[in-house]
Amino acid sequence: MSSQRVDPIRLEVLKNRFASLTEEMGAVLMRTSFSPNIKERRDFSCALFDRDGEMVAQAAHIPVHLGSMPLSVAAALQRGDLAPGDMVLLNDPYRGGTHLPDITLVTPVFFDGEEQPAFFLANRAHHADVGGMSAGSLPLSNEIFQEGLRIPPVKIVRAGQLDSDLLALLLANVRTPVEREGDLNAQIAANRVGERRLREVVGRYRLAETERYCHALLDYGERMMQEVLAAIPDGCYAFEDLLDDDGAGSGPIPIRCELTVAGDAVTVDFSASAPQVQGCVNAVRAITLSAVFYVFRLLAPSGMPGSAGVMRPIAVRTRPGTVVDCSFPAAVAGGNVETSQRIVDVLLGALAQALPGRIPAASCGTMNNLTIGGCDPRSGQLFAYYETIAGGAGGGPSGAGASGLQTHMTNTLNTPVEALEHAYPLRVRRYSLRPGSGGAGRCSGGDGVVKELQLQSEARITLISDRRRQGPYGLAGGQPGRPGRNALLRNGECRELPGKCTVDGRAGDVLIIETPGGGGWGG
Amino acid sequence: MTDPQPPSRLLGVDTGGTFTDLVLLDGSAVRTYKLPSTPDDPSRAVLEGVRHLLGEDQGLVFHGSTVATNALLEGKGAKVTLVTTAGFGDLLQIGRQNRAQLYALQPAGRTSLVPAERVVEVRERVLADGAVEVPLGEAEVERVVTAVKATGCESVALCLLHAYANPKHEAQLAQALLAAGCRVSASHRVLPEYREFERASTTAVNAAVSPVMSRYLERLQVGLGERPLRIMQSNGGAIMAGTAGSEAVRTILSGPAGGMVGAFAAARAAGLERIITFDMGGTSTDVGLCDGRIPLTSETVIADWPVKVPMIDIHTVGAGGGSIARLDAGGALRVGPESAGAAPGPVCYGRGDRVTVTDANLYLGRLRPDRFLGGRMPLAVDRCRQALEELATAAGLAPQRLAEGIIEVAEETMAGALRVVSVARGFDPRDFTLLPFGGAGGLHACALAEMLAMERILIPAHPGLLSAVGLVRADVIRDYSRSVLRPGNVAQMELAELFRPLEQQAVAEMGAEGIAGAALQLEPSLDMRYRGQSFEITVPMAGDFCRTFHQRYQGLYGYRDEQRDLEIVTLRLRAVGRGPRPDLQHGLCRASDLSPLVVEPLVVAGHERPCPVYQRSALPCGASFSGPALIVEETATHLITPGWLVRVDEGSNLLLEREGA
């Protein structure tokens, strides 16, 4: 921190200004995009970074993106050749990404004729399809090459000009190119709006002063988090929970965490977790960072800034080659959506020992990822439908868990039934709560959801779901929530499906998905 | 208007949380009255005010009411039963499945307006194209009616899948339920638009508030006798009380709509078409942007429930006079959203002990302790000074700097709201005039205008009564809509055919309001998007509307794509009967000398300096002077900072312009 005094008033003013800048980027992205994942389900995030790539502000969007975006900026920075008017696109999990459908666009922002960018703006959006072995690009893969097009950090825009050759290459490798192009335009528009607002701020406060307050915001976040950590009793707490399987025949897969609290700093060690697996539930380290970041933000008071400073007092240890820090070319499609949820469950389980009166039982613990792809007989066009389905929240000291709610690392909306039936050759037969699925306890877990979808034509269904064998844990004497269930109804016969599977569906088939209830709390 | 003899007396009554404001226009005379609201039965204060101003005389009464909103927010709406397609009974409970707070250890679930035991599922199914897949049989209708009766509800919300595309089943059920003596809100009548949760929510809100509103309006009408009663809707137009009772969901933002109509009318009278309104209250601030017309939105959410009928587009932020200042653990000065409200109120009101924006204004000399509410409410100056100095010590700041800082942080939040309605939507605030109203708007107007590089401010007459003024200027308006989901290149013939039922409904229903023939204006528009998107832009159905769409899209988002297919999602029809448009002669403007009440020290831009304080009613017409100055009136105070020139115009508005601009 520089020796000059930080004015608490200006600190608050700029904190709010940076946050609203990222919110505005998000609004543009949502309103102009084409993927249902972005426009209806709001599976995207926006953030601002300083010249060192430290995150200064982020909009409150999807938790799983937020701790992992800094690595995207670092990957863009590593190119070493950024110039004014450039924008860098990437999705490679091994170079700044998380899983392939999440495409990140990074814009360096230059000021005062400097050679190096003073800031970066980034947005990440979940595209409906990026190619690979199955529509929707969340396949039951065994290596990353099957999951879709890998984009290392490349300049999609150079000196303000879109690289149309590069774009053509990208679009040739996806199932729904018109939609992809529209989404990329939306991402570009969002960063441009962010840049305009950033220039207004720098125009008013000057570059040196704006940067000084970026540093002050990082320090501020650090102090806020230190307060939170100091309130946790010192000690060492360990917890283990399981992923059902990897979709390729192995499982269960243990994830272990050892939490050490010492004063106003903590160490979270996942080294003892399972080695990486052949199936698609491997998580790159960025995802583990996001999950840890998320859990500690849960403990913080409202108004905690989304700056990287918040992470400074938290050390995260992982071992390369494990399911929480996998190495190339492990398959990662489900790591972002499934393993991230279990990492949260494990860390909260450890924290519950330190703060038994505060931490609720486990929530649903899976995003219940459903992808359906095929050819729409009404238009002759290929389609890729993707959705995640809510479950029950865990009960806790402040009452019963909520039913039918997105929990922890995701907060995506559902696609309205009327919009879904208009857009895809699918009919929804039932969308209701799943009574009795929440775990019993003094404060019971929330109920999961039942969704039944009928195919109107041949289509390939891919399911990546977990907590099908073991329900979300209860705490303080509460019972676990009921595990989820997948089934296919064909010609009046009901066939149980595994948690992770690919099924070639026929017209008339009804897919039944029942999501887990939350764990109960208190005996 | 087709009234044979338009009533010469027009009375606007706006019920607020604390006060009920009345404005009477009798020919060219204006009379005002303000009395405490009676929240347990708002009609008592309304009728007392009416008696005070009208006596036994006749007059047309326009009313802005908070009855529907309060019934909803306080959980005092009617018991509602939801009737919906089999398999979707938990529709209102699940909503869009997302949580409101992203980072909460135990996130709150959605609170449904209808408990699970008052949901009745129907065996029937309509598809996205309107085709019937499972017909609705007579026996099923009978079963549903019996089941609904068994729930013992006061009101039924009926929402079947795809009823916007084919309302047959809903109409069938509505008829049977009505015949059985039920009160029914059917989604194809309330909001025939796609997206089942939002439509069902809007319908359920209507079902919950309509019985309450109807009872209230009946009571009010008895008290008013022969005098006709019109109710302000959230869309800025008035409708007859009987209609308002059965479509109460359309009156949720009745009060703020009056304020916006009043503000825009005042601006127009002063020759201005482009304004940004700024209404600062105790706990929050409402802002809106008028670009030649009052803007509408259909994305409103009240408490937990989407209400998708068109409403005046007002953006609200949690910063007001009562917003509390504190230092957080990281050492930043936070102001709001926590508010001291009316109780305990700011420290200077004598009961609170946490420093607020109002206290900071008082500390800096910007509020006159002897002139607050016309001198009827003395302020606790010493108490305020002590509290502020304590907080300053904790923050390590000089008290004066802290007071200015509190205002600066609050103004940043308010400026953020002004940016949301302007720059974030592609409007340059420099092209607009800032129009502050409410009691404290004028204290912050100069600073906010400077933050947004705006060069003009209009402070209208009666800034504290603007909502009531807006009521008497309201047009009769009804909005109609229908989702059609057609390609952008749909044939003109087909489009006209799709609009026809809306037009027929408009002509019939506006006829019942007394608007017909040349007095009735129909304004058709289209909600359009690029095919595949989820958010639409409304464009007038005139000329080359596709071209208009591309232009507006470019203005909003900075790019366009003319190669892409367009989609018409929803048809909209606005039916308007022009209101009385009375000429407002406020009688405030008089010829006299410009002389301050007093000259007192005031802190502006870090310096204390002597500053003249003027009584607004004593300002002569055509007077002109530069800041710094403080202008006080009964219900408002205005701070003119250095660099601003004030002129009093013929309409007794205060027009502020940046000097040297």
pLDDT in tens, A70-81: 999 999 999 999
Q: Which residues from chain B sit within 8 angstroms of residue A31, using beta carbons?
A: 533, 535, 556-557
All domains in chain B, ordered by first residue: 7-270 (no CATH), 475-577 (3.30.1490), 598-658 (no CATH)
Inter-chain touch B103–A300, beta carbons under 8 Å: yes
pLDDT at A63 over 80: no
Distance, CA of A117 to CA of B437 (rounded, Å): 43
Instruction: State the Cα torsion B567-B568-B569-B570 to the nearest 10°.
Output: 170
Tell me how close the Cα of A108 comes to any Cα of chain B, in angstroms: 19
The minimal CB distance from B405 to the residues A9, A63, A299 is found for A9
Interface test with B, best of A11, A13, A127, A430 (most B CBs within 10 A): A13
Q: Which residues from chain A sit within 8 angstroms of residue B423, using beta carbons?
A: 197
When pLDDT is cut at 50, 70 and 90, the band that residue A68 belongs to is confident
Say how many C-beta atoms besides its own lie within 10 A of residue B575's C-beta. Answer: 24
Q: According to the model, what pLDDT value does residue B507 have?
A: 96
Q: Which residues from chain A sit within 8 angstroms of residue B395, using beta carbons?
A: 8
Say how many C-beta atoms besides its own lie within 10 A of residue A163's C-beta. Answer: 16
Q: For residue B115, say if its preceding peptide bond is cis, omega within 30 degrees of 0.
A: no
How high is the mean pLDDT of chain B?
A: 90
Coil, strand or helix: which one is B145? helix
Distance, CA of A471 to CA of B238 (rounded, Å): 55
**Cα A350-A356-A359 angle, rounded to 5 deg:** 70
Q: What is the mean pLDDT of residues B112-131?
A: 95
Inter-chain touch B559–A185, beta carbons under 8 Å: yes
Inter-chain touch A31–B405, beta carbons under 8 Å: no
Contacts of B329 (CB under 8 A, 6+ apart): A223, A224, A227, A301
Residues pairing with A399 in the sheet: A396
**Nearest chain A alpha carbon to B193:** A418
Q: Which residues from chain A sit within 8 angstroms of residue B90, using beta carbons?
A: 404, 431-433
Coil, strand or helix: which one is A454? strand
pLDDT digits (tens, 9 = 90+) for A365-386: 999 999 999 999 999 988 888 8
pLDDT digits (tens, 9 = 90+) for B156-193: 999 999 999 999 999 999 999 999 999 999 999 999 99
The minimal CB distance from B90 to the residues A394, A398, A404 is found for A404
Interface test with B, best of A304, A379, A432, A489 (most B CBs within 10 A): A432
**Nearest chain A alpha carbon to B94:** A404
Q: For residue A93, say if its preceding peptide bond is cis, omega within 30 degrees of 0.
A: no
Inter-chain touch A30–B535, beta carbons under 8 Å: yes
Residues pairing with B21 in the sheet: B14, B34
Pair A306, A293: CB distance under 8 Å? no
Coil, strand or helix: which one is B534? coil
The minimal CB distance from A298 to the residues B96, B105, B128 is found for B105
Inter-chain touch A422–B532, beta carbons under 8 Å: no
Inter-chain touch B105–A430, beta carbons under 8 Å: no
When pLDDT is cut at 50, 70 and 90, the band that residue B281 belongs to is confident
Written as one letter, the residue type at A173 is N
Tell me how close the Cα of A310 comes to any Cα of chain B, in angstroms: 11
Looking at chain A, the whole-number percentage of residues with pLDDT higher than 70 is 99
Inter-chain touch B533–A393, beta carbons under 8 Å: no
Q: According to the model, what pLDDT value does residue B2 have?
A: 41
pLDDT digits (tens, 9 = 90+) for A96-147: 899 999 999 999 999 988 999 999 999 999 998 999 998 889 999 999 999 9
Give the residue from A138, A8, A154, A161 showing the smallest Cα distance to A78.
A154
Distance, CA of B424 to CA of B418 (rounded, Å): 9
pLDDT at B4 over 50: no
Residue B242 structure tokens: 């009987």
**Of A463-472, B24-33, B554-563, where does the model show the most confidence?**
A463-472
Distance, CA of A361 to CA of A259 (rounded, Å): 18
Coil, strand or helix: which one is A166? helix
Pair A438, A382: CB distance under 8 Å? no
Q: According to the model, what pLDDT value does residue A1 have?
A: 41
Tell me how close the Cα of B591 comes to any Cα of chain A, in angstroms: 43
pLDDT digits (tens, 9 = 90+) for B68-108: 888 888 888 999 999 999 999 999 999 999 998 888 999 98
Q: Which residues from chain B sit within 8 angstroms of residue A32, using beta carbons?
A: 533, 535, 557
The ipTM of this complex is 0.92
Q: Which residues from chain A sit within 8 angstroms of residue B333, using beta carbons?
A: 8-9, 11-12
Distance, CA of B322 to CA of B192 (rounded, Å): 41
**Cα B150-B153-B154 angle, rounded to 5 deg:** 140
A200 against B377, higher pLDDT: A200
What is the total residue count of chain A? 523
Contacts of A305 (CB under 8 A, 6+ apart): A15, A19, A57, A217, A220, A221, A224, B330
**Nearest chain B alpha carbon to A415:** B96
pLDDT digits (tens, 9 = 90+) for A23-60: 889 988 988 888 777 877 778 899 999 999 999 998 86
Inter-chain touch B534–A403, beta carbons under 8 Å: no
pLDDT at B33 over 90: no
Residue B259 structure tokens: 């304020």
Helix axes of A285-299 and A340-354: crossing angle, nearest 10 degrees = 40
By CB neighbour count within 10 A (0-12 exposed, 13-18 middle, 19+ buried), where does B218 fall? middle
Sign of CA dihedral B449, B454, B455, B460: negative
The minimal CB distance from A412 to the residues B91, B98, B330 is found for B98
